[in-house]
Amino acid sequence: MSNTVVIYYSGYGHTRRVAEYVAEGAKAELIEIDANGDITDAAWEKLNAADAIIFGSPTYMGSAAWQFKKFADATSKVWFTRGWQDKVFGGFTNSASLNGDKQVTLIFMQTLASQHGGIWVSLGLAPANTFDATRNDVNNLGGSVGALVQSPSDRGAEDTAAGDLETARLYGARVTEIAARLKG
């Protein structure tokens, strides 16, 4: 069994709900980045000890929230020692529009993982893109780099599409399974 940590920021709770689904699938511990973009020393230790790390952030203005970026910049301290070399990584993002430039956020997370010498896990789920596909289907947003979720701008986190949340859960499970396989 591998040890996975989900680290995320959420401004208004929508991404927190997604993070809970990812963590359920991954059997992971959750760490929330606070409103100042900080995490505790104990949280850094958990990240350093993890076999797999899954990043999460809402997409704000076409990229990750600044709090997540502050965390990303703070990982430079670990980068100097190659402390996360060969860890397994994944990422998810959530935003109001179906597209909303979510891909930019995922590519940012994938690049962050690559800077650390990590092994990135793709979504690994076929898109549900037929005429009859619905928002209850897995991967209805058609992602491939990581998990994409849409939360309607006029609703709370409880109204996030079931298919997107299931996509998040399945993706978490995939990251942990791949980390376990690599661990041997």
- Span from 42-50, 79-87, 90-98, 172-180 in contact with ligand FMN (CB under 6 A): 90-98
101 binds ligand FMN (CB under 6 A): yes
Residue whose C-beta lies closest to ligand FMN: 100
Of 2, 4, 75, 151, the one binding ligand FMN (CB under 6 A) is: 151
Contacts of 6 (CB under 8 A, 6+ apart): 19, 22, 23, 26, 28, 29, 30, 31, 54, 56, 172
Residue 61 Cβ, how far from ligand FMN at the closest point, in Å?
Answer: 5
146 binds ligand FMN (CB under 6 A): no
Contacts with ligand FMN by CB under 6 A: the residue count is 19
10 binds ligand FMN (CB under 6 A): yes
Write out the DSSP string of the chain: ---EEEEE--SSSHHHHHHHHHHHHHT-EEEE--TTS---HHHHHHHHH-SEEEEEEEEETTEE-HHHHHHHHHTHHHHHTTTTTT-EEEEEEEESSSSTTHHHHHHHHHHHHHHTT-EEPP-------STT--TTSTTTT--SSSEEEE--TTS-GGGS-HHHHHHHHHHHHHHHHHHHHHH-
105 binds ligand FMN (CB under 6 A): no
58 binds ligand FMN (CB under 6 A): yes
Nearer to ligand FMN, 97 or 134 (CB): 97
Of 11, 40, 73, 126, the one binding ligand FMN (CB under 6 A) is: 11
Residue 36 Cβ, how far from ligand FMN at the closest point, in Å?
Answer: 15
Binding site for ligand FMN (CB under 6 A): 10-15, 58-62, 94-97, 100-101, 151, 153
